[in-house]
Structure 1
Amino acid sequence: MKKKTDAQATPASTLRLILGDQLNAQHSWFDQPDPEVVYVLMEVRSETDYVLHHAQKILAIFAAMRAFGEHLRESGHRVRYIRLDDPSNRQSLVDNLDALAAHYQAGCIQWQSPDEWRVDQALRQWGEAWAHAHQGATAVVDSEHFLTARNELPRLFEGRKQWLMEHFYRQMRRRFELLLDADGKPEGGQWNFDHDNRKRWPGNPPEPRDWRQPHDHGALWEMLQAQGVRSFGDPQATQLRWPLDRSEALQHLDHFITTVLPHFGDYEDAMSSKAQRLFHSLLSFALNVKMLHPLEVVRRAEEAYREGRAPLAAVEGFIRQIIGWREYVRGIYWSQMPGYEERNALAHRLPLPAWFWTGQTRMNCLRHAIGQSLETAHAHHIQRLMVIGNFALLAGLDPKELHHWYLGIYIDAFEWVELPNTLGMSQWADGGIIATKPYVSSAAYIGRMSDYCQGCAYDPKQKTSSDACPFNALYWDFFLRHQSTFGNNPRMGMAYQQIRKMQAEDVQALQQRAADLRSQLDTL
C-alpha cells in the first residue's frame, strides 16, 4: 500500500480552502509554513458542471491549480490536493470539506472570500452548520487581490442617480495616484482618451507573433473525458498557451508591456479576420485567477508611459480597463446579487441559435468571432460586445441563456465580471444600471472597425433584400419594438429622428425582414 504523505496522515488544527480562481502566491497566508495548517485544493464536478464550459477553460484552471499546489509544497506548506478522479472525491466543495475536517480532526476551517455569489453562499451556509454541529470555528479572509471592497460601490455613489463608471474611474486614479501630474491633475489634461483609441487596423504594424509556449496536457484531457466531464470548443490539449503559474504570468506581462502596449490604444477596438490577438494583453485569465495583482499590472503600464515606451492614450485606455471597468463591474455584481442574473428588462426570450455552439453561420463577422472563441476560448471586448452581444440584443435572444454561454466559453469568464458585462453592458437586461443606452449598431459600425464585411454572404449596404445584412433590419426593428422604453432617451434621439423621416412602407419592410430573420435564426 502506498504510504500516505504527511499532509494526508497527520492531524491538523486548521484547514484552509483555496478555490480555483484564488491562485495568489503573494497572499499573506503563505508567508510562513505552519505544520498545523493544511491547504486544500480540489477539482470537483460541482464546479465543472454548473454551466457547460469550454474545454480549454477547464484544462487551464485545473492545470494551474495543480501547479499552485506543487508550488505550495515546494515552499514547505502542507497541501491536500483532491483530483477529479480521486476515489475519495465527493465532487462537492462542502461535502469534501466535511470529510476532510473529520479526517484531520480540524477545529478551524478557513477560506478566502469567494468572488461568485453562488460559492460564497454555499460556503457560508455550510460553515455555519459545521461550526454549530462540531463546536468548531470558521473564518473568512480577504483574497488580497482587489483594489476595492466588494460592498464599496454603493457608498461611493451615494446620492447619485446614475452609477457611472467614469466617476468611479476618476476616484480610483486619484486614490492610487495613477497618471497624475505634479499638481494632481490628469496627465495630458484629460481623464479619458477613448476617442483616440478607435482606429481600424490597416495591417501594419503587424500583429506580434504568438510567442507563448504551449503546454501539453493530453493526460489531463484524457482524465476529464474518462470522468465524463462535458465541455465544448477546441480543447487543443497539447497546445494550451495560457499562463499556468505566476512566473509565466509575469513573462506574459513583460511581453505585453514591451512589445504590444505601444499599439494597444490605437487598435483596441479594431477587429480583423487576419488576426486573433492584435494588440491585446491576454492577461485577463492570469488576473482573474489572481496570479497577477491589478496594481502591479497598471504600475508597469504607467512606468512604460513615464519612460517614453508607450503613448499616453494606450496606457490610459489599458489602465481604465483594469482599475476602472474591472473594479466597477465587480462592485455592480455584489450590489445587485442575488437575482441580477434573472433580470430581463426588455423581455427577450429567443433561444440561442445552434451556430453559437459551432460557428457555422453565413454572417462572416459572427462566424469569425464565435469561431475564434470556440477555437481559443478568447475574444476581445469589441468582438464580445459589438458583434456577438450586439446581434443577441438586436435579435432578442434570452439574456440568461447568453450569460451562461459567455460564462462557459471564455477563459477569463468568472461570474463577478462576466454577468454585469453580459446582462448590463451588452444586453441592457438590468434596465440601465450600467449602460445609459443599449450598445447596438447596424452593419456600418462592423464595416468601419473590421474587414469582416468583405466576402460576406450578406450585403452590408442593403436593409430589406434577401441578401441584406441581418444587422441592418434588426437594428431599426429594435428601436421600433422598444420605442416605449427608449423613445425619450436623449442618447438615442438621432435614431428616432431618422425613423420619423422614413416612409411607412419602408418601416413595414424593415419590420417584416426582421420578423423573418428572427423566425429562422438557425439558418442565417
Structure 2
Amino acid sequence: MSAPTLRLILGDQLSLANPVLVNADPKRDWILLAEVSEEASYVPHNRHKIVLIFSAMRHFSAELRERGFKVIYRSFEEGVPSLYAAAEAGLKESSAQAVLVTAPGEHRLLVDMQSWESKLGVTVLLQEDDRFLASRDDFESWASGRKQFRMEYFYRDMRRRYRLLLNEEREPEGGKWNYDAENRGGWRAQITVPERPAVAIDDITREVIALVDQCFSSNPGDLSQFRLAVTAAGAQSQLDWFCEHALRDFGNYQDALAEESPWMFHGLISMYLNIGLLEPLAVCEQVEAAWRDGHCSLAAAEGFIRQILGWREYVRGIYWHAMPGYAERNTFEAKRALPPWFWTADTDMRCLSQALSQSLELGYAHHIQRLMVIGNFALLAGLDVTEVCQWYLAVYVDAFEWVELPNTLGMALHGDHGLMASKPYAASGKYIQRQGNHCKACRYDPKQTTGEGACPYNSLYWHFIDRHQDYLTKNARMGLIVGAWKKRDASYRKAIVDWGDRILATVLD
C-alpha cells in the first residue's frame, strides 16, 4: 500500500464533492478538520457564523467516519492556533507523506499555504475548488481583452454554458436574459410573510453554542435566536421550503424593506452554499424546475438564479483577478472612522437601525439592506473603506473575503475605481421610502433635506455629489445629476452642504 495522504478540509469546504475527497482511500488516507483560533478570531465573527461552521464541521466529520474514513478532528477547546499547526500535528499522528487541500477562498490563506511545503518537508498539493461553476481560468479567459467587467455579459455566458432557463433554440426563456425590472417592488404589507420552520437543535449544536457563548462572549450575535441548518440534509430542507412557500413572491419583493420581517421571501441559503452544504448548480436546477412546474414566475426564477450563477461566480472571479491589490483600493479616499453605533445599532435612522440590529443579532441582512441602506450610508458619509469591509466580514454569517470584499468595496463603496459597478450606488432617503415602510416609524422625514427632522440620507447624498463632482462628471450615468446640481442656486447648494457637514459632525458620533 502506498504512503497515506493527509487530506485537509476547511470549514467552508464541507461537501462530499470536495476535490480532496475524490479518490480518497478510507483504508489508507486520513482526513483532517480543525477548529483553529486564528480563523475563528481574525475578525470578531458573528457568533451565529462560528456556531454554524463549528457545528457543521463536527457533523461532517461524523458523516465521514460513518463512511469509513479515518478522521483527525481538532476542536476549539484543544487550542490549535492555526491551520498550519493543525497540519503539522496531523502529519505526525497519521505518518502521512503528503498534504492535500482544496485551495482556500481567501488570498491570505492561499499565500500561507503556498509556503507549507518547504516548512513541513512534505509534498503539499493545492487542488482547485471545482465546486464553483467558473474556474479562475474561466474567468480570466472571459475577462481577457475587456475594458469593462460587466456581470450581465458574464451571466449570459454562464446561462449558455449550463443551459439554464433556455428554450430549445438555446435562447433565453421569455425572450429576455434579465427580468430585474420586474423584481423591484416596494413593501406596503400587501401580503402575509410566511412563517419559516424552526430548525431542530441537536446535542452537537447545543455543545457548540455553549462553547461559543463562553469563548466569544463579546462578539455580535444573539444565539438565543440561532436557527441555521448544520448538515447538507438540513440545508436542503430549507431550500425545499423556500421553493414551495417563498419563491413565488421572491421576485416581487426581493428589493423590499419591511418592518414586519427580516427574512421576507428570501432564500436564506447563501451561507449553506458558501460552506459547502449546498451545491450551486443543483440549487439553480431546482429553482428552474420549480418555474417549469408552475410554482413561480419566470422573473422570480431568473432573478434568483442570476444571484448564484451570475453574481456569486462573478464576484469570486473579480476577487481573484484583482487581488491582492484590490483590498487597497479607495476611489474616494474615504477615511472617516466607523461610528461606534455600527456595533450597537443605536441610531435614530430607522432603516439603518433595523438593518444594523438584525445584522448584529442574526448575522443576516438581505442585499438591499447591505447595499442601499448600510453601504449607501457608508458611501455617502465617506466611512473608511477598510473599516467598513472588516465590519461586513465580521457580522454576516455568509461572509468570506472572496465574496464580501468585491460586494462591499466594489459595489457598496465604489472603491475599486468602477471595476465592478458602472456607477456609485448612491441614493437619497426617497429610495428607501419607496422600497419599504421603515420611514413611517422614523423620526426623520424623507421629504425634507435640511433642518431638524430632515432625513440624513438626503443632505448626505448631495454632499457626496458636491465633494466628488469632478469624478462623477466623467461618469455617463452620474453626469446629468452633477449637471443639475451645478445649475441650482449657489445659496441653495451651500445650505444643503452646510447641513450635510452638520450631519457628519453629529450623526457620526
TM-score range, shorter chain: over 0.9
One of 481, 485, 496 as aligned partner of 2:482:
496
Q: CA deviation at 1:52?
A: 1.1
Aligned amino acid, residue 204 of structure 1: Q
Aligned to 2:41: 49
SS in structure 2 at match of 1:53: coil
Q: TM-score, normalised by structure 1?
A: 0.93
Aligned to 2:463: 477
Aligned to 1:269: 255
Say whether 1:84 aligns with 2:76. Answer: yes
1:136-175 equivalent positions in 2, closer than 5 A: 136-175=122-161
Q: CA deviation at 1:518?
A: 1.3
User: Cα RMSD between the aligned structures?
Assistant: 1.6
Q: CA deviation at 1:404?
A: 0.5
1:321-400 equivalent positions in 2, closer than 5 A: 321-400=307-386
Say whether 1:116 aligns with 2:106. Answer: yes
Contact 2:187 2:437 in 1 (8 A): no
Q: How many residues align?
A: 505
CA distance in 2, matches of 1:117, 1:265: 34
Contact 2:34 2:74 in 1 (8 A): yes
Q: CA deviation at 1:12?
A: 6.9
Residues 197-220 of structure 1: per-residue CA shift (max 9 Å, x gap): 011123233111021324264432
Q: CA deviation at 1:106?
A: 1.5
Contact 1:12 1:35 in 2 (8 A): no
Contact 1:84 1:91 in 2 (8 A): no
Aligned amino acid, residue 473 of structure 1: S
Q: CA deviation at 1:31?
A: 6.3
Segments of structure 1 that go 5 or more residues without pairing to the other structure are 1-10
CA distance in 2, matches of 1:107, 1:234: 41
Structure 1 residues 34, 259: closer, same or farther in 2, change over 3 A? same
Contact 1:110 1:140 in 2 (8 A): yes
Aligned amino acid, residue 190 of structure 1: K
CA distance in 2, matches of 1:522, 1:484: 25
Aligned to 1:220: 208
CA distance in 1, matches of 2:23, 2:277: 16
CA distance in 2, matches of 1:201, 1:463: 23
CA distance in 1, matches of 2:324, 2:483: 39
Q: TM-score, normalised by structure 2?
A: 0.96
Contact 2:47 2:216 in 1 (8 A): no
CA distance in 2, matches of 1:253, 1:189: 28
CA distance in 2, matches of 1:104, 1:46: 23
Aligned amino acid, residue 103 of structure 1: E
One of 253, 261, 268 as aligned partner of 2:239:
253
CA distance in 2, matches of 1:366, 1:214: 31
Q: CA deviation at 1:388?
A: 0.2
One of 115, 118, 123 as aligned partner of 1:128:
118
CA distance in 2, matches of 1:223, 1:248: 22
1:93-112 equivalent positions in 2, closer than 5 A: 93-112=83-102
CA distance in 1, matches of 2:360, 2:81: 27
Aligned to 2:297: 311
CA distance in 2, matches of 1:402, 1:76: 44
Say whether 1:234 aligns with 2:253. Answer: no
Q: CA deviation at 1:500?
A: 2.4
Aligned amino acid, residue 222 of structure 1: A
Q: CA deviation at 1:253?
A: 1.2
Contact 2:17 2:131 in 1 (8 A): no
Bigger mean CA deviation after superposition, 32-41 or 382-391: 32-41
Aligned to 1:7: none
Segments of structure 2 that go 5 or more residues without pairing to the other structure are none
Contact 1:111 1:139 in 2 (8 A): yes
CA distance in 2, matches of 1:508, 1:321: 41
Q: CA deviation at 1:359?
A: 0.7
Aligned to 2:30: 38
Contact 1:59 1:221 in 2 (8 A): yes
1:418-433 equivalent positions in 2, closer than 5 A: 418-433=404-419
One of 13, 16, 20 as aligned partner of 2:7:
16
Q: CA deviation at 1:349?
A: 0.3
Aligned to 1:4: none
Residues 136-168 of structure 1: per-residue CA shift (max 9 Å, x gap): 222122333100112332320222210110110
Contact 2:385 2:413 in 1 (8 A): yes
Residues 415-474 of structure 1: per-residue CA shift (max 9 Å, x gap): 100100000011011110000100010000000001011121111111110221100000
